[in-house]
Structure 1
Amino acid sequence: MSLPPGFLDELRTRLSMSQVAGRKVMWDQRKSNQAKGDMWAPCPFHQEKTASFHVDDRKGFYYCFGCHAKGDAISFVRETENVSFMEAVEILAGEAGMQMPARDPKAQEKADRRTQLAEVMEMAVSHFRLMLKTGAGAEARDYLTRRGLDDAALDRWDIGFAPDAWQGLWDHLKAKGVEDDLILGAGLAKPSQKGGKPYDTFRGRIIFPIRDARGRAIAFGGRAMDPNDNAKYLNSPETDLFDKGRSLYNHGPAREAAGKGAPLIVAEGYMDVIALSEAGFGATVAPLGTAITEDQLRLLWRIAPEPIIALDGDKAGLRAAMRVIDNALPLLEAGQSLRFAIMPEGKDPDDLLKESGPEAMQALIDGAQPMVDLLWQRETEGKVFDSPERKAALDKDLRTAIARIQDPSIRNHYGQAIKDKRWELFRARPQGSKGQGGQKRAWQPGKGGGWQQTPPVLASTKTSLLASADDRAQEALREAVILAILIRRPDMLDQVESRMERIEMVGPGHGDLQQLLLRHAHDGAAVLADQIEARIGAQALEKLFALNHVRITPAIRADDDDEIVSACLTEELTKLEALRGARREVIDAEADMNALPDEGVTWRLGQAAEARNKALRSQTEDKATYEVADNGSLLNREERDALDALLAQIDPKKGT
């Protein structure tokens, strides 16, 4: 059975050599460099203990320095699975999600035609290069000189020119004996709709040859010299040689440069690629007039694990970046992602290089943002989240985007990163709690009331519970109970998360515990405790759970009873909110009485006091009295008395 042209190339593109070999070998992590596709393992073809089996992911080959076995993914499957060539292709095609083609008796004929088309394309390259050096190409040469390209650069990139003539290239190729169907099949000419001679595809344009990874000319890109031309850039139509969505401009040289350690950069156009490469950024490629496709992403990841998308700093460039994110999310794998270097507004890489030099471009590359930052920017930029509904809409959009990630580990990490960013946006600085210069403010009764500047609190004062005084001391104790319950049972946070976000802690160290709880509760109690110990020390938890008020809380003593835990947690939050609501009402009333007292103020105070007392008179409050036993544990006094009475009935001597 013969395979159609391009099938094996596509198969090798979709599967990396390390993916195929990774099923049979255990990689030596100390010797391997996954970022560069440089992998080492003990050889699967002979018995050994050292890692002499080497895989070069960029080239798609393996070689053993012990037994000298070598080959590509197909030969690896043939040798390890003991199958024929076609069976190995079928195995790999199944893994890559490619359907095996039907038997094609004309496959060899098609392969021969592709070879002929490639030869015609090289003839066209030579013709366009010659035309650039003639008088007809004077204006194009001037333009390229203004763009900073000298004769040596023009030769390196094989840049040419197509004069504004209807059959210039057609006549040239026909004079060399090229058949009509080959010229048309290569996309170099189009048939006339009026019955005349076919006419050239490219006219009045600077020509950029597009080559595949092996260096064969497969298409052209043309830039119009006429500023009024509707199509500034024009690519060859798709042919047997050229698939626009599966090709990259400067693919081969960029792959070679990336293999030597250069960062892989994805620019927007031909001139950006040329400018960056000439400035020393040799591993630069560009898609061909379309948004980056899934196939192009796979090509990029075959070259480097984390390509840098360098897009123009305008609205179109940002829109292109967002489209890339949507295509990339389902394809993400461990160690395989994208970063983004957004140019200054209104500039492209060529502009930046001319104005600020390679150093400015290098700084942008070094500071390239991870993809999660662009995803967050897309969902939040220009939006206001001043209502629960808008916040919920943001959460829904982010969940929908993250759900497209197939790898569960990456999906979890994206979720954590988004949660951290959401924390910074909504929770880090409650509204009204900061004054000018970032100084902390507090609600103080005084002339006119309102937020008053508060002097800084001494460190020694912060550590004392008495710093809060009276009601604040009671509030601090209730805060401690709430924090202790949630630290012991972080799975309960979902029920009260929005209420926890609004609490401004007054107890010593409670604010730090609150932030760590909200950030890491989803990781489980053990991880949360480790985070608290790492950030603020194990003594913080010891001090919290040592409080008698915490130790006698029913939820702590029965933390495996969801109903008790939930009821106790809800009750403590309600009491705390009632205490603070009543205090704020008193402060407001005092301010109103200083201004214009009336009966309404008295009524408001009465309502606040009633709400406070109602919350504190909870029917579920634990009213038991406890005492400390000899071993330090807490005992319910009523239960202790009942036990003593029972013992007295059994043995009167023990009841005395």
Structure 2
Amino acid sequence: MSLPAPFLDELRVRTPLPALIGRRVRLERSGRDQKGCCPFHNEKTPSFYVYDDHYHCFGCGAHGDAISFVMQSEGASFVEAVERLAAEAGLEVPKPSPEAAEVARREADLSDVLEAAAAEYRRRLLLPEGAAALAYLRGRGLANATIERFGLGWSGEGRGVLLASLGIGADRLIEAGLMKQGERGPVDYFFNRVMFPIRDRRGRAISFGGRLLGDGQPKYLNGPETALFSKRQTLYGLDRAREAVRGGAALIVVEGYMDVIALAEAGFAGAVAPLGTALTEAHLTELWRLSPRPILCFDGDAAGRRAALRSAELALKALTPDRSLAILRLPERDDPDSYVRREGTASFGAMIKAAPGLADTLFDMLAEGADRATPEGRAAFRKRLEAAAHTIEDRSLAGEYRSALVDRLFAEKRRSFGAGNGKPTRPVSLPRPPIDAEAIAQRRARLLTAMLLRHPELLPDLEEAFGSLALPEDCAGLRAAMSAWLHGAETLDSSDLLNHLTQLGLRDNADRIGATIPQRSATKEAASLLELEASWYENYGLLNLDRLREECAEQERRLAQNMTHENQAKHIMLITALNRVVRCDSDDPDAA
């Protein structure tokens, strides 16, 4: 059974390989990839590596994609594997038909025509007629090896060049996007242009781009939409960038062909570019398949800044804790090519490594032209920040972004007031009652104890942090009894804990401490353990901020070692609690 290549490509895109293999193999993070013990031969030391789009065992040599894995692990035929994966991905397997076979044959034929044209363009670049084009490329700093590696060529100056040179019929050349129907018959689509072959992710020629030499418009021209080529789904240089990124290179998104090639020449081989269109959802999906944090590096002019902002706003919806974006902002008159040539590779590499997080860059881009000098302007700007964060569908991440963006606005406001904003102000002196810090600390300590009495299922995660607190006497004895009960309890149930405390003569004390917080409504009783733990840590941080910071750092290390959903959720919870403590948002102890 022959299936169309685009369908198989879409099936692979919709089938996350680590998730598929993770059903049968226990995988653990290894750098940016995952590894485990090979399911195809017995081994005790993991040598089976899973990447975004393929797996490889360095022990037995097993290798393949999602379809291959189902075939090898389940003994399924190619058709059976495809049908199973398609059902999971929500795709309909194309019915075998003469029409489908004809489509596949025509696509293969079109690719052959384009490869023949690429060879002809390369040949013409080295002829006397291509001297100006070759001089242009060398003037842009490209070595002969780079020109050859990217298959650059010259279209020829006249019309009818390909028709005369290739011996291929005009109808096939038109279908491939190499000719078009003119008033007096077929004419070449490209002429008097430096030619850039455009290839799909597998390295197959699917179209061309051409750069005009001399006067005229458009300066850059892409081939028309064909059965093989869609600008909205294609990234220039993707076939080469895939291997480079897999080898550790940064995935950098630039604006045009020459930026991709110039960066490759300078040693940044993970560069790709959209083809005369803004980034699309299909582009972002392809980028995230290669890297969890691609870096956008558009031109530093106003158009480049607008393109970067549009791309950031498009990406926000699909962000997750392990799928983000970075934006590198160049000086106003620079593009990546000019910056590298002027400042050097070391400077550009340092900028890539130091690329700020998306939240910071998004704030800067949204702030351009915003009125932040008046209350009305700041309120409008805050709404814009919150609206941007709200577009993120991952709700926990949306909350993090909102906090980060609004916190920065508040910090900016505090700095402005601290500097007097150019206008000295006299502080208003109002009588205030004295603050009893020790009494407040003891009240919070009793609150934390009460929360654990009501929800002892939190004790395994919080015992160490709870043990580090200086408690008043009426809580210290309860803590010791709770710790002893925890290590012998069969079920972590509040009733069982209170029975244990009754036997020790501590029940009255426990009831008195427990009254620190009122009985919850049904809604609050149904709060998740993670929400309860977050509330506990917020109050804990007001007593021991340094320890809360240590907890955040330790959880970050756990997350780096083991990227699980549970570790991600707890990391976000701790960071949120820390941010709220720093902003003093947890001033209501009864929020638990």
**Secondary structure of the equivalent of 2:410?**
helix
1:186 matched to which residue of 2?
176
The match for 1:358 is 345
**Do the aligned residues in 2 keep the contact of 1:3 with 1:104 (CA within 8 Å)?**
no
1:133 paired to 2:91: no
Aligned equivalent of 2:116, options 123, 144, 164 = 123
Q: Distance in 2 between matches of 1:443 and 1:407?
A: 45
Are 1:477 and 2:441 an aligned pair?
no
1:120/1:183 contact within 8 Å kept: yes
Q: Is the Cα–Cα contact under 8 Å of residues 258 and 283 in structure 1 kept in the other structure?
A: yes
Partner residue in 2 for 1:549: none
The separation in 2 between residues aligned to 1:118 and 1:21, in whole angstroms, is 33
SS in structure 2 of the partner of residue 375 of structure 1: helix
Query: Distance between the aligned counterparts of 1:535 and 1:313, measured in 2?
Result: 41
Q: CA deviation at 1:356?
A: 1.5
Structure 1 residues 163 and 43 mapped into 2: Cα distance closer, same or farther (>3 Å)?
closer
Structure 2 CA distance for partners of 1:165 and 1:346, relative to 1, 3 Å: same
Residue 511 of structure 1: aligned partner: none
SS, match of residue 198 in structure 1: strand
Residue equivalent to 2:34:
39
Contact residue 14 and residue 298 of structure 1 kept, 8 A: no
CA 1:12 to 1:559, structure 2 compared with 1: closer, same or farther past 3 Å? closer
Cα contact 2:67–2:81 (8 A) shared by 1: yes
Matched with 1:443 is 426
Q: 1:49, CA displacement in angstroms?
A: 6.1
Alpha-carbon offset, residue 341 of structure 1: 1.2
2:213 is aligned with what amino acid? Answer: M
- 1:54 maps to 49
What root-mean-square deviation, in Å, do the aligned CA atoms of Structure 1 and Structure 2 show?
A: 3.6
Shift of 1:251: 1.6
Contact in 2 for aligned 1:277/1:283 (Cα 8 Å): yes
Residue equivalent to 2:370: 383
1:26 pairs with 2:9: no
The answer to whether the aligner puts 1:276 opposite 2:271 as a matched pair is no
Query: Is the 2:175–2:226 contact (alpha carbons within 8 Å) kept by the matching residues of 1?
Result: yes
Conservation of the 8 A alpha-carbon contact between 1:62 and 1:72: no
Q: How many residues align?
A: 472
Secondary structure (helix, strand or coil) at the match of 1:213 reads: coil
The superposition leaves residues 320-339 of structure 1 with CA deviations (integer Å, 9 ceiling, x where unpaired) of 11121122122223322111
Contact 1:28 1:51 in 2 (8 A): no
Letter in 1 for 2:18: S
Letter in 1 for 2:57: Y
The aligned counterpart of 2:317 is 330
What is the CA–CA distance in structure 2 between the aligned matches of 1:275 and 1:78, rounded to whole Å? 42
Contact 1:311/1:317 (8 A) holds in 2: yes
What is the deviation of 1:190?
A: 0.5
User: Identity percentage over the alignment?
Assistant: 41
Determine whether 1:261 maps to 2:245.
no
Deviates more, 1:342-351 or 1:399-408: 399-408
Write out per-residue CA displacement over residues 386-439 of structure 1, whole angstroms, 9 at most, x where no aligned residue: 55544443343333322332333422322332232132123x3362x4369x9x
- Are residues 169 and 487 of structure 1, via their aligned partners in 2, closer, same or farther at CA, if it must alter by over 3 Å? farther
**CA deviations over 1:98-130 (Å, ceiling 9, x no partner):** 444455432222222222222211211121122
1:485–1:372 Cα change, 3 Å: farther
Instruction: Tell me if the contact between 1:488 and 1:559 (Cα under 8 Å) persists in the aligned partners.
Output: no
Q: Secondary structure at the match of 1:141?
A: helix
**Equivalent residue number for residue 459 of structure 1:** none
Q: 1:217 to 1:379 in 2, by over 3 A?
A: same
Is 1:114–1:240's contact at 8 Å kept on the other side of the alignment?
Answer: yes
Paired with 1:272 and 1:22, the residues of 2 have a C-alpha distance of 38
Distance 1:241 1:320, change over 3 A: same
Q: Is the 8 A contact 2:34 2:49 kept in 1?
A: yes
Q: How far apart, CA to CA, are the structure 1 residues paired with 2:6 and 2:420?
A: 66
Structure 1, unaligned runs of 5 or more: 445-450, 452-467, 491-520, 539-555, 566-656
Q: Answer yes or no: is the 8 Å Cα contact 1:64–1:70 preserved in 2.
A: no
CA contact (8 A) 2:386 2:406 kept: no
Normalising by structure 2, we get a TM-score of 0.71
- CA–CA distance in structure 1, aligned partners of residues 416 and 231 of structure 2: 51
- Mapping of residues 68-107 of structure 1, within 5 Å: 70-78=63-71, 85-107=78-100
Match of 1:149 in 2: 142
2-side partners of 1:393 and 1:97: how far apart? 42
Question: Does structure 2 conserve the Cα–Cα contact (< 8 Å) formed by 1:158 and 1:208?
Answer: yes
Q: Deviations over 1:569-602 (max 9, x none)?
A: xxxxxxxxxxxxxxxxxxxxxxxxxxxxxxxxxx
State the 1:485 CA deviation.
9.5
Structure 1 range deviating more: 261-270 or 395-404: 395-404
Alpha-carbon distance change, 389 to 168 in structure 1, aligned in 2, over 3 angstroms? same
CA distance in 1, matches of 2:401, 2:314: 16
Corresponding residue to 1:235 among 190, 208, 222: 222
Q: CA deviation at 1:82?
A: 6.8
Of 43, 49, 57, 1:63 maps to: 57
Seen in structure 2, the aligned counterparts of structure 1 residues 70 and 138 have a Cα distance that, compared at 3 Å, is closer
Instruction: Compare CA radii of gyration and give the structure with the larger one.
Output: 1
Pair 1:25–1:476, CA change in 2 (3 A): farther
- Counterpart of 1:221 in structure 2 is 209
Superposition map of 1:312-331 within 5 A: 312-331=299-318
